[in-house]
Amino acid sequence: MEVRAVEKYIRISPKKARLVADVIRGEKAVKAQVMLKFIPKKAAQIIYKALTSAVANAENNFNLKKEDLVIAKITIDKGPSLKRFRPRSKGMASALLKRTSHVTVVVSDVPNPVKKSKTAPVVAKAAPKAVAAKPKVAKAVKEEAK
């Protein structure tokens, strides 16, 4: 059974939040909570709150055990951006985009069989075939007689 929790309009850029989400993706929920406590980033607190909410939803609404839960899916989506302006020289202004995020955490009591690896597996490739060198042929220059 999959249970989810959503945090919307969080004032952090999605790019920064995805760095933390990639660390805990596919982990056991209890282990992920401990990991998030010790990650020194703002996004760790936000994701911890969403994960704790998802675990509580699973325990209270569906009578699932906390120890059996696994993070099945975690997504950090882009929310609306707050547009602000910063004064510049000669009366101009430059735009600042204060980005927001939507955090979705899905926990499941069934372990996810595929965990996304951070590095691609190394696959041995066959040696390239030796290509025989083609003989170079000089082009004959035709002279036009006038």
136 is a domain residue: no
pLDDT band, very low/low/confident/very high, at 47 (cuts 50, 70, 90)? very high
Q: How confident is the model at residue 120 (pLDDT cuts 50, 70, 90)?
A: very low
The CA–CA distances, whole Å, from 84 to 54, 89, 90, 93, 94 equal: 34, 17, 18, 10, 9
pLDDT of 30-39, one tens digit each? 999 999 999 9
Please state, in angstroms and rounded to a whole number, the distance separating the CA atoms of residues 85 and 119.
Answer: 40
**pLDDT tens string 71-90:** 999 999 999 999 999 999 99
What range defines the domain where residue 59 resides?
A: 2-108
Q: Supply the CATH number for residue 104's domain.
A: 3.90.470.10
Structurally, the chain folds into a number of domains equal to 1
